[in-house]
Amino acid sequence: MAAVSLSVSTVKPLGERVFVKVSASEEKTAGGIFLPDNAKEKPQVGEVVAVGPGKRNDDGSRSELEVKIGDKVLYSKYAGTDVKLGSDEYVLLAEKDILAIVS
């Protein structure tokens, strides 16, 4: 089987899916205590790096997504599929799993 080399520029989400780069999780608590890797919470904020063409309507047209590349978004904690490309972590989400655009 041939190995496939993936990069952010080669990943194109389908339908109403969004590819998000996960923001780094907190290394320490507000009180200054450093957290080990297994105690860190899964991040819920990231930056949109690719979007699909949108959901197909009954008449065959596509609905445009509400998010665009570069938006910082808040998404459901356990939603999507985790993807690791190099040292960066990404998550592939359905648009419905995005809760808000963060400014």
Measured distance CA(73)–CA(78) in Å, rounded? 15
* Structure-model confidence comparison of residues 85 and 48, the more confident one: 48
Measured distance CA(90)–CA(94) in Å, rounded? 13
Q: Domain spanning 8-25+33-101 has what CATH number? A: 2.30.33.40
The whole-model pTM stands at 0.76
Per-domain residue ranges of the chain: 8-25+33-101
Question: Which residues lie below 8 Å from residue 44, measured CB to CB, with a gap of 6+?
Answer: 74, 75, 76, 77
Task: Grade residue 1 by pLDDT with cuts at 50, 70 and 90.
Answer: low
3-state secondary structure of 10: helix
| Residue-wise pLDDT tens digits, 24-59 | 765 666 677 766 666 556 668 999 999 999 988 899
